[in-house]
Amino acid sequence: MIRAELDKDPRDVAAMFDSIADRYDLLNRVLSLGRERYWRQATVAAVDAYSGELVLDLAAGTGTSSESFTRRGARVIACDFSFGMLRVGAERRGGASRKGVTVVAGDALHLPFADQTFDAVTISFGLRNVHDVDRALAELLRVTKVGGRLVICEFSHLPVQPLDRMLGWGMKIGLPWVARQFSDNPDAYAYLSESIAAWPDQAGLARKISAAGWSRVAWRNLTFGVVALHRAYRER
């Protein structure tokens, strides 16, 4: 079985996502009990993209989330380093550049875009998988126009620690078991629960975003803090 470890070697992470690409969107819906649609809607509202804007959707996977940003006329670059994920998404849409979404292979630590290219940048459930989070946040700042915005949707922690520990234990046991019913690589979902447990809380991530040079950092909890939505701006 292919799975990544918490050192997040980029080759291991990419290979792991390649191995689950075909059923990734289905498993997301099942494992989130359908909440991923609500989380995506909240992210779209926070990005608030409109006609004439260019949005970077980093760690876009199959590009399911990317399509949501085009509803008001924005153009979207769906970027991911898993070729398997990008291939599945492009096949579903009928091409690598369709319906306002253009697929680009790229690494979050070395984004293949010029400085100040995007009006908004966003990453959902992907920052946690990056080998160097601080560098990725700095790269996102580099490619964002002055006045542009950052939106991060990521698993987080319940504000009550005993409940958060119980949730973490439940995910450690439950995610691989459920994934085993739908996937040939349930070990990938063991990594998911481990990476969530090791991830900083809402305030900790906000400090990282600020340290990377972003301004006006704020967050709000979704589903009681199971997921957190962080938003920030590039002011200079």
Binding-site positions for S-adenosyl-L-methionine read 62, 80, 107-108, 124
Q: What angle do CA 227, 229, 233 make, to 5 degrees?
A: 160
Distance CA 106, CA 109 (A): 9
Task: Tell which residue, 201, 219, 203, has the closest CA to residue 211.
Answer: 203
- Residue 87, classed as helix, strand or coil, is helix
CB 76 within 8 A of CB 57: yes
Task: Tell which residue, 143, 156, 134, 132, has the closest CA to residue 229.
Answer: 156
Binding-site positions read 62, 80, 107-108, 124
Distance CA 2, CA 171 (A): 19
Query: Per-residue DSSP letters for 98-155?
Result: ETTEEEEE-BTTB-SS-TT-EEEEEEES-GGG-S-HHHHHHHHHHTEEEEEEEEEEEE
Helix axes 161-182, 187-197, angle to 10 degrees: 170
